[in-house]
Structure formats: C-alpha cells, structure tokens
Structure 1
Amino acid sequence: MTTKLHKDIVRYVEHNLYHYHEYIREIQRLRNDILYGVKLTTDENVGGGRSNLPSSPTERRTIELLTHRRLETLERVTHAIKTVYEALPDEKRKLIKLKYWTKPQRYTWDGIAEQLCVTRITCLRWRNEIVYAIAELLGETDA
C-alpha cells in the first residue's frame, strides 16, 4: 500500500517520465561533450597559485564526468525510472508507454483504460503506485 505523495512530487516524477527519452539523449550528449569536446572547465584562478585539477586531460575528463551535476541528476532519475519500469508487469508498462511515452498524446485516462481493458480508477491506482515507486528510489518520499 502506498502513501499519498505531495502533488509537487507527483508532478516532478511525472515530468521526468514524460521526458525520460530526452534525458537519455541528453546524458549521451553530455558524456560526449565531456569526453570529446574541446572545451573543458578551465580554472579562472589567474595568478593565484596552482589549479586543483590534474594536468592530464584524461584525468580532468574523468573528474568532470564524475562531478558534473546535471549529468549525475539525469543519470539518477533515468536509473530510477528504468529500474521501476523493468520490474513492472506488461500491462503497467503499456500504461507508461501510452500515457508518458506516446507523442503526441492520443489518449485520456479513459482511453488508456479502454486500451488496457481495465477501469479508469485502476489506471490511476497503477499510476500512483508507479509514481510512488520512482519517488521512493529518488528519495522523495517521507518514509
């Protein structure tokens, strides 16, 4: 039994579900920019001693990969979604595909329920369970 989440957390998780595939592409782009891009974070400490970054480009890129905040956040969110999605039975996976990953959005909750041969209330209950499981992995629940 799941507990009720604050509506802002539900919106946050649903937003991430809607943009999951974009996040996957963004992660790959960020990694490529860090690994193969010519522009690395430069030390702006002009005349103030030595930089705390290693002089080796490989080491600098590794450190940037490990400390890049946007990349870390996207990886954490996509990992949580993927983990929950892969653990779901087929009908709940189909709910995610129909509601969040079909572009343009073609179905209302009633239409999704009809596609899945369940009631609208069942769809909403499943959605709540899925959102709660993702929020829990992201550390967004009170429990």
Structure 2
Amino acid sequence: MAINQKTLKRATFKHIEAELICYHETKKEIKRLRESIIYDTELNDNVGMGKNSYRIPSRPTEQIATRLIATKIIRNLVEISDAIESIYSCLDENQKKLIKMRYWSGRNRVSWKMIDLELNLGEWTVYRYQQLIIEAIAERIGWR
C-alpha cells in the first residue's frame, strides 16, 4: 500500500470516508445500472416502424457494450469501488477489522474507543491506520 506524501484536503478525506460507508450500496448501484442498460427495451423496440422507415442497424451486443463503457456514472462508481477493493485486499487483519467495524457495520457505527479495545491497539495506531487507508484509496483514485 503506497503512502501519499501530501496530506489530503479535509473534504476529500470525508468524501472517501462516505464512499467507504456506502461501498456495499455502490456495488448494488453498479449492478442495477448495468442491468438497466443491458435489459433496456428501447434497444430492441421496433414497434411502429414501417418497412421503409429509418432504423439503426441491429447490433445489440455492440450497442450494449458501447453504452456500458460510455456510461460515466458507472465508470466513476466502478473506479471508486475498485480502489476500495484493491486497497482492502492489501490490508492486514486488524486494518480489515477497522474498516468493517467503523465503516461497514451499518447504522451501529462503532466508536473509535471500541475499535481500540477490540483490536487491542493504541488510539494513535488506529488513527494512523485510518489515515493510511484513506490516503491509499485517494491515491488509487487519483484524488488529492
């Protein structure tokens, strides 16, 4: 995990924390958006078109692939979720527990004091872990 030598802007730090909290919802949203593009009925709808009317050449697979790649929202969401996944996969067990407890525990967000006690680490160690994780995600995404 590479460490960003420059400190992050406060707003960027908070934004990445929000993305961590919403990570599982983001994955669901990516799936939903992809399915809405793949199963879009407008793509195959020729109702009302006569024999001589103008039609887009029928190449649904290519049209779907182009729309999936071109969809900016999906690209952004995938970039963020991929960054979180890649950094998460490089973490040790204590750091993974920190992420799960602090960001992925749902509405019952665990306090930093509880995380300190659960992981049997010092308060500053836990904060340093958090800082390193957030900075690594920011670097992977290309945010500052």
Global fold match (TM > 0.5): yes
Q: CA shift at 1:126, angstroms? A: 0.4
Q: Any idea what SS the aligned residue of 2:41 has?
A: coil
Q: Which of these residues, 60, 72, 77, is aligned with residue 75 of structure 2?
A: 72
Q: Distance in 1 between matches of 2:131 and 2:57?
A: 47
1:33 aligns with 2:33: no
Q: Which of these residues, 12, 16, 21, is aligned with residue 19 of structure 2?
A: 16
Which stretch shows the higher mean deviation, 54-63 or 83-92?
54-63
Residue 115 of structure 1 is matched in structure 2 by 118
Which stretch shows the higher mean deviation, 55-64 or 19-28?
55-64
Q: CA shift at 1:60, angstroms? A: 1.3
Residue 95 of structure 1 is matched in structure 2 by 98
The answer for unaligned runs of 5 or more in structure 2 is: 44-53
Q: CA shift at 1:122, angstroms? A: 1.2
Letter in 1 for 2:112: W
User: How many residues end up aligned between the 2 structures?
Assistant: 131
Q: Distance in 1 between matches of 2:70 and 2:79?
A: 13
Distance 1:99 1:39, change over 3 A: farther
Spell out structure 1 runs of 4+ moving beyond 3 A: none
The answer for unaligned runs of 5 or more in structure 1 is: 41-49
Q: Distance in 2 between matches of 1:39 and 1:92?
A: 46
1 or 2 for the larger relative contact order (CA 8 Å, sep ≥6)? 2
Cα RMSD for the two superposed structures: 1.8
Query: Is residue 103–residue 109 contact of structure 2 (8 Å, CA) maintained in 1?
Result: no
Residue 86 of structure 1 is matched in structure 2 by 89
Provide TM-score, normalisation by structure 2.
0.84
Q: Distance in 1 between matches of 2:10 and 2:42?
A: 40
Q: Any idea what SS the aligned residue of 1:102 has?
A: coil
